[in-house]
Amino acid sequence: MSRLAQTDGLTDIQQEILSTVRSFVDKEIIPVANELEHKDEYPTDIVEGLKELGIFGLMIPEEYGGLGESLLTYALTVEEIARGWMSVSGIINTHFIVAYMLKQHGTQEQKDHFLPRMATGEVRGAFSMSEPGLGSDVSAIRTKAVRDGDDYVINGQKMWLTNGGTSNLVAVLCRTDEGQPEGAAPHKSMTTFLIEKEPGFGPNPKVKGLTVPGKIEKMGYKGVDTTELILEDVKIPSNRVLGGQSGRGFYQMMDGVEVGRVNVAARGCGVAQRAFELGIAYAQQRQTFGKPIAQHQAIQFKLSEMATKVEAAHALMVNAARKKDSGQRNDLEAGMAKYLASEYCKEVVEDAFRIHGGYGFSKEYEIERLYREAPMLLIGEGTAEIQKMIIGRRLLEEYRIQG
């Protein structure tokens, strides 16, 4: 284990899990990450290895075949995986959010049907809120589900689904106006649907009217598939409304996004750690003016700033995870952790890039990949501006002047 980003108070089981994951990352992910990323190739062998380790069921209760671990354990695991290749942590994250939403909000039938197969990775999840014209304004969702007897008929277009092609379960947020008075707040007219589909692209053979057009070409965050989702008169039975009751989708999704923000913070911590490792190693190997560049004060200043940012981001991420595990509200802590970790990740990666000089611009060096991956964390699970809005509102609640 590295000197940086240690976590006090872990149990023997937690330490054993993290040690196993770190070993897997060092042996199975880091050696192949660059090649797979440059090819934009899905990491099938890595995913199979994570299945065997039980990572897909890390937070799923033991009664459903999972490991029943805490959000903290999960976040620290994601940190380790992102240190190897951030795209792999994305594959895990969307699955985890859907499993968490099922565990917290699903009916007993839904839990019994999905969670045991999600624990093994047989069923892999994706979740879908965003739309082409939506951005951060979730209340403006246009995809609509209309009641038709015992079913719902869904029409609309969704955007930015991680695992959109490879998943076989998608949690989709739609507008449903049933039972709401005219002029009701938009967030009270949203429902989450659980759609089972076949993996793959194009028209779905299992769900009539459902199409995953193909992978969206991205600057970074490659390997994992990011897609659109088109729904044309897609018929879904009412027993696949998450929780069995319409109108609760916004709250269910926000609960999932809240833990997702801890996950994104953990990813930022992992990428920043790897960038620091690469930077400090290269600084001791590269010589200028007769000595390693690590002996130049300017480089030492960079390394000290990078290490401090790695430590600070890790501490905030751990605090946010522990707050959620305690059963307390943690939107303030999750927003702070996500905001700081993503911003610091970008800065640490850029400093490592600068330390590498011209070689940082070469695809032969790992830092080039990290430099393209870090920007995704600035927008994933809510932009920095959205996090600041959340933080500001919560601070005003906490520090409200009486009278």
Is 182 in the active site? no
Phi and psi at 199, nearest 5°, equal: -65, 150
Cβ(241)–Cβ(315) below 8 Å: no
Decide if 284 contacts 254 (C-beta within 8 A).
no
CB atoms inside a 10 Å sphere around CB 221: 19
What are the DSSP calls for 102-153, one per residue?
HHHH--HHHHHHHHHHHHHTSS-EEEE---TTTTT-GGG---EEEEETTEEE
Query: Is-contact 403 397, C-beta < 8 A?
Result: no
CA 287 to chain centre: 39
Q: Can you name the residues that pair with 174 across neighbouring β-strands?
A: 191
Residues 6+ apart with CB under 8 A from 304: none
Radius of gyration of the chain (CA): 22
H/E stretch holding 324 reads helix 297-325
DSSP letters for 220-233: S--SS-EEEEEEEE
37 token code pair? 């990323």
Question: Is residue 131 a contact partner of residue 141, using CB atoms and an 8 Å limit?
Answer: yes
> What is the rounded distance in angstroms from the CA atom of residue 157 to the CA atom of residue 135?
13
Identify the helix (H) or strand (E) that includes residue 283: helix 249-285
φ, ψ for residue 125, nearest 5 deg = -100, 155
**Catalytic annotation, pick one of 305, 347, 381, 385:** 381
Using the 8-state DSSP alphabet, how is residue 358 labeled?
A: G
Largest CA distance in the chain: 80
Catalytic positions are 381
